[in-house]
Structure 1
Amino acid sequence: MRILVLANTPAHVHQYRHAVDRLERAGHDVLVLTREYACTTDLLDYFDMPYRVYGEHATEAYSKLQFARELGGQFRTIGTEAIRFGPDVVFGRGPYAAFAGTLTRTPVVLVLDDEPGDFNHTVSRPFADCILSPAVTRRDLGDAHYTFDGFKECAYLHPDVFEPNEDIREYLDVDRDEPYVLVRFNALDALHDTDIEGFRPEQRRDLIERLSESATVFVSDEGGEMDLRTLPARPYDLHPALIHDAMAEASLLVADTGTMATEAALLGTPAFRYRGTDDHEYGEFRELERAGLAEQFDEYDAVRDRSLEILADEGAAERWQERRREYVGDLVNLTDLLVDVARSRGELERLDRSTKRVLQPRSQSI
């Protein structure tokens, strides 16, 4: 079989990397089409995934004409590469995957989450043969839409998949018992981030200074704009492939970005998300809050004070790990599901009974 995967962000690479490895080891041909964005290609190289680049995600302001030209060029490259590869099934999300499947007359499997924007869903839904999403997804995308009990991050953070790197503290240069905090600042340059503001500059400084009184602070600044030389913090400068190992050992993650907060929560690390001006409701966060693994805050003072409270709580780490054991272990291993769906060429009726049991038609679950 030949499987084509559209992976446009670092999170997409993590989502598919174990499935790609297993499918290749089983003798299938896999190709990942990607774009230059953040550390996406760095991760693809690190995990030795077969890929080709179709374009880049530019963050600078474009005129409508410039944007249309760039988008047109990306679609042409995707079309050329897809036809050359000749897939039996296409995985991805949004219009790129839909276009590749339509052009090659190949079944399209979309793996979605409860993102706020409707654009990707609206454009790609008519071309999808199969849509998979977490059960917490609130929208119904039609007869081809099936849900599973878990999160898309379960493809790489499920206890059956994730193996922590025991040397991560050595790489970070922190002692065995030294508490440390990961602080993630979002670049807010994605389509669904338009008009959203996270931590303001003065809040970033205050947060770092206050957290540093209780723990070593590592800053992951997606926008790359912060100057940490005058602040009591260290840049998180390990290879991006090691971020989940660093999360798993951290005492706390504080972020104004969604994906890393979800990831930390699933690893059993207290995960606090500052919403800023983001007033969207996410089914994933609501569920993680219910499980006691994540917390969201509308006010800066609240997330700062709660962070300091957790760092002073000696029993917090064990409570969160116990919650992870009780909750995350019962979720669906998404890698297993992706591999089975790939082998079925996106035709769910061809799945065996055990795999079918983990899927629920969305129209019957709302």
Structure 2
Amino acid sequence: MRILVLANTPAHVHLYRHAVDRLERAGHDVLVLTREYACTTDLLDYFDMPYRVYGDHETDGYSALGFARELGGQFLTIGTEAVRFDPDVIFGRGPYAAYAGTLSRSPVVLVLDDEPGDFNHTVSRPFADCILSPEVTRRDLGDAHYTFDGFKECAYLHPDVFEADDDVREYLDVEPDEPYVLVRFNALDALHDTDLEGFRPEQRRDLIERLSEDATVFVSDEGGEMDLRDLPARSYDLHPALIHDAMAEADLLVADTGTMATEAALLGTPAFRYRGTDDHEYGEFQELERAGLAEQFDSYDAVRDRSLEILAADDADARWQRKRREYAADLVNLTDLLVDVATSRGELERLDRSTKRVLQPRSRSM
């Protein structure tokens, strides 16, 4: 079989990397189409995934005309590569996957989550042969939409899949019993981040200074603009492929971005998200809050004070790990599901009974 995967962001690489590896080892031909955005190609290289680049994703100094030209060039390259590869099935999300499927006349499987905005869903839904999303996703995308009990992050953080690198503390140069915190600042440059604001500059500085009183602070600044020279913090500078290992060992993650907070929660690390001006209610995050694995805050003072409270609690790590074991044990291993759906060419009726049981039709008309 020939499987085409559209991976536009680092999160997409993690979503598919184990499935791609298993499909290749089973003798299937897999190609990933990607763009130069953040550390996406760095991850593809690290995990030795077969890929071709269809374009860049620039966010600075953009005009509407420039964006249109770039988009046109990307669609041309994607179409050319898809027709040349002639896939049996395509995985992705949004208009890129839909376009590739239309030109190559291949089945399209969309793997979605509860992101804000309806543009991607509206554009791609009519072209999808199968849509998969977590059960907590609140949208109903029609008869082709099926849900599973879990999160898209279960493709790489499910207990049956994730294996932590025991040497990550050595890479970070922290002692075995040294508490440390990961602080993630969002660049807020994605389409769905338009007009959003996370931590303000003065809040970033205050947060770092207060957390550093109780722990070593590592800062992951997605925008790459923060100067840490006069602050009691270290830049998180490990290879991006090791971020989940660092999260798993951390005493706390504080962020103004949703993905890393969700990931930390699924690893059993206290995960606190500052919403800022983002008033979208994410189904995944609400579920993790219900499970006691994550918390989100509308007030900066509240997230700061709660962070300090957790760092002062001697039993926080044990409590979160216990909650993670109890909660994650029953979640779907999404990599298993992706592999099964790929080998069925996106035709769910061809799945075996055990795989079918983990999927539920979302459409209220069914």
TM-score (norm 1): 0.99
Report the AA paired with residue 241 of structure 1: A
Report the AA paired with residue 340 of structure 1: D
1:63 matched residue in structure 2? 63
How far did residue 61 of structure 1 move?
3.2
How far did residue 365 of structure 1 move?
10
2:354 matched residue in structure 1? 354
> Aligned Cα RMSD in Å?
0.9
How far did residue 66 of structure 1 move?
1.3
Correspondences of 1:316-331 after superposition (within 5 Å)? 316-331=316-331
Listed one character per residue, the Cα deviations across residues 63-100 of structure 1 (whole Å, up to 9, x for unaligned) are: 22211111000000000111111100000000000000
1:9 matched residue in structure 2? 9
How far did residue 62 of structure 1 move?
2.0
Distance 1:179 1:62 in 2: 42
Distance 1:158 1:64 in 2: 41
Listed one character per residue, the Cα deviations across residues 309-348 of structure 1 (whole Å, up to 9, x for unaligned) are: 0000001100000000000111000000000000000000
Structure 1 moving runs of 4+ over 6 Å: none
Gaps of 5+ in 1: none
Distance 1:31 1:320 in 2: 38
Distance 1:67 1:217 in 2: 37
2:343 matched residue in structure 1? 343
* Helix, strand or coil at the partner of 1:183: strand
Distance 2:334 2:365 in 1: 19
Listed one character per residue, the Cα deviations across residues 135-165 of structure 1 (whole Å, up to 9, x for unaligned) are: 0000100000000000000000000000000
How far did residue 363 of structure 1 move?
1.8
Find out whether 1:36 has 2:33 as its counterpart: no
Distance 2:289 2:67 in 1: 38
Listed one character per residue, the Cα deviations across residues 172-230 of structure 1 (whole Å, up to 9, x for unaligned) are: 00000000000000000000000000000000000000000000000000000000000
Report the AA paired with residue 227 of structure 2: D
1:45 matched residue in structure 2? 45
1:300 matched residue in structure 2? 300
* Helix, strand or coil at the partner of 1:363: coil
Distance 2:160 2:7 in 1: 23
Distance 1:156 1:209 in 2: 33
Correspondences of 1:218-237 after superposition (within 5 Å)? 218-237=218-237
Distance 1:65 1:163 in 2: 45
Distance 1:178 1:137 in 2: 38
Find out whether 1:148 has 2:148 as its counterpart: yes
Given that 2:143 and 2:365 are in contact with CA atoms closer than 8 Å, whether structure 1 keeps it comes out as no
Aligned identity (percent) is 89
Correspondences of 1:1-366 after superposition (within 5 Å)? 1-364=1-364
Distance 1:289 1:70 in 2: 39
Given that 2:94 and 2:123 are in contact with CA atoms closer than 8 Å, whether structure 1 keeps it comes out as yes
Given that 2:185 and 2:222 are in contact with CA atoms closer than 8 Å, whether structure 1 keeps it comes out as yes
Listed one character per residue, the Cα deviations across residues 212-254 of structure 1 (whole Å, up to 9, x for unaligned) are: 0000000000000000000000000000000000000000000
Report the AA paired with residue 313 of structure 1: A
* Helix, strand or coil at the partner of 2:109: strand
Counting matched residue pairs gives 366
Listed one character per residue, the Cα deviations across residues 93-130 of structure 1 (whole Å, up to 9, x for unaligned) are: 00000000010000000000001110000000000000
Q: Which is further off, 34-43 or 355-364? A: 355-364
* Helix, strand or coil at the partner of 2:232: coil
Listed one character per residue, the Cα deviations across residues 20-51 of structure 1 (whole Å, up to 9, x for unaligned) are: 00000000000000000000000000000000
Distance 1:68 1:214 in 2: 49
* Helix, strand or coil at the partner of 2:263: helix
Distance 1:208 1:155 in 2: 32
Report the AA paired with residue 167 of structure 1: D
TM-score (norm 2): 0.99
Gaps of 5+ in 2: none
Q: Which is further off, 252-261 or 355-364? A: 355-364
Distance 1:364 1:314 in 2: 47
Distance 1:116 1:77 in 2: 28
Distance 2:79 2:364 in 1: 36
Distance 2:364 2:118 in 1: 21
Listed one character per residue, the Cα deviations across residues 4-29 of structure 1 (whole Å, up to 9, x for unaligned) are: 00000000000000000000000000
Report the AA paired with residue 26 of structure 1: A
Distance 2:67 2:254 in 1: 34
